[in-house]
Structure formats: C-alpha cells, structure tokens
Amino acid sequence: FPSVSCKVQGRLGAVNAGALDIQAGCTGSLTALTVAASGISSGIWDKVLVIGAEVFRDIIDWTDRGTCILFGDGAGACVIGVSDSEGGFTSTRLLADGTGHEMIRLESDEDHIMPIVKMKGNEVFKFVNTVMPKFIKGFCEESGVTPEDIDFWIFHQANTRIIDGVFKRLHVSQEKTLINLPEYGNTSAASLMITLHEAMEAGKIKNGDKVCFVAFGAGMTLGVLLYEA
C-alpha cells in the first residue's frame, strides 16, 4: 500500500472518485469490468475508469527461457457508464479454483531477493483446455445464447494453442477473434484492453454485435463477460 489505483486517481486529479485495486492475475481486467458494470447497474456509480496494466520486466527470471519469452509489459483502459442506448454488459460469470494456486505464482528463491514469476506451463495448459470450454458453454446457456451466436471474441492473449483448442471445442471460427500475442506477448491484465482497442480500431466490432470477453489467470481464476455493442 498505497494502492496503484489511488496513485493513478491522485495524478489524474479525479477528486470525486473512489479507487480500488483488483488482484486476479490475467483475469484482472475482466473482473474489474464485472465489478464496474455491477456498480453502475445497481446505481452506485455513474462512470468508472477501468485500467489493466502490468510491468513484467522486473519480476521475470531472464535465465528461465521457458517463461521470460512469454510475457510483455502493457496497459489499457476504458470508461464505462450509464447510457440510454440499448446493449451494454448483459451477463457475466466468474470462477476461482484455489487448489491450483501454485500453477502461476510470484515466489522468491535463493537467487532472487525480489519475487519472480514461476509457472507450471503444462499444468496451466491442461487446466484451461479442460475447464474453459465447459465453463464458456455453461455461461452461454445461462445467458440464453450459443457460442455460434457470439459475433466477436475478446480472448486473453496467453497462448495461441490454448485459444485454438478452446475455439475448436466450441466449434467457433477464429475469424471471430483477434490475435496479437506475437506482437506483445502475454500482457496479463492489460491483454483484454489492448485486444479490445485493436479490434475496435480495425472495425471488427459493429453496433448490435454480441461480444464475449474471456480470460483466465493465476489463482486459478476464470471469467466470461457478454457485451452487446
């Protein structure tokens, strides 16, 4: 402490705003969007600035080639608020499985005073490919849609093999998503925000489209969020 959000609020001069950090690893932005949308729909807030940002360069073991090549620094933000137009965030689903907390973690060792990222990549891959397709299908059923009904997917950019595997199990075309992992690496909580920005800039999201945000990360945590543009 103090929280990063309070530092940002102070530098922005947002004197009428509260501020809070959300720690959910790569699922952080989706979790923050869920909290923000819930607060707006309940009348607690009118506008919320949601930020996803990560700086991995200082917490990476650069001798661990299996991990250090995967991550990148990044930041993205969006403002959501009350609107008279149709659409908006319509449903969400979050899940945690704390029994897998050691799969992705920050940890100190004899060679590093500051904590560094430790990841069991194969276990993460198996976990996501086993759990995520069922999780998304269950969410779609609860939301009254099918995976085929989704016009565009904003997927956390962690691993192209994971995205490929999930899409195949959902029988969804990869033309309905955007991959920027080769350009930036895994930017964790910034990933969804950056991908959303690039998709909008490329004109891939149109009025009336159903857009599904999907993320997973340390914890382990999972999240899906449906938005109607």
Catalytic residue among 68, 140, 159, 186: 186
Q: Mean pLDDT, to the nearest integer, of 35-41?
A: 97
The domain tally of the chain equals 1
Instruction: Check which CATH number belongs to the domain holding 16 and give it.
Output: 3.40.47.10
Instruction: Let me know if 26 is a catalytic residue.
Output: yes
Q: What is the pLDDT of residue 66?
A: 83
Q: What is the pLDDT of residue 206?
A: 95
Residue 213 has pLDDT above 80, yes or no: yes
Residue 162: Cβ within 10 Å count: 19
Domain of 25 in residue numbering reads as 1-229
Catalytic residue among 26, 78, 140, 212: 26
Q: Which residues contact 198 (CB under 8 A, 6 or more apart)?
A: 178, 180
Q: Mean pLDDT, to the nearest integer, of 157-182?
A: 95
- CA–CA separation, 132 vs 166, rounded Å? 7
R_g over Cα of the chain: 18
Catalytic residue among 78, 140, 156, 212: 156
Q: How confident is the model at residue 160 (pLDDT cuts 50, 70, 90)?
A: very high
Q: Which residues contact 90 (CB under 8 A, 6 or more apart)?
A: 143, 226, 227, 228
Q: What is the pLDDT of residues 132-155, one digit of tens each?
A: 999 999 999 999 999 999 999 999
Task: List, in sequence order, every residue forming a beta bridge with 134; answer none if it has no partner.
Answer: none
Instruction: Let me know if 186 is a catalytic residue.
Output: yes
- Contact yes or no for 106/59 (Cβ under 8 A): yes
What whole-number percentage of the chain has pLDDT above 70? Answer: 100
Q: What is the pLDDT of residue 108?
A: 83
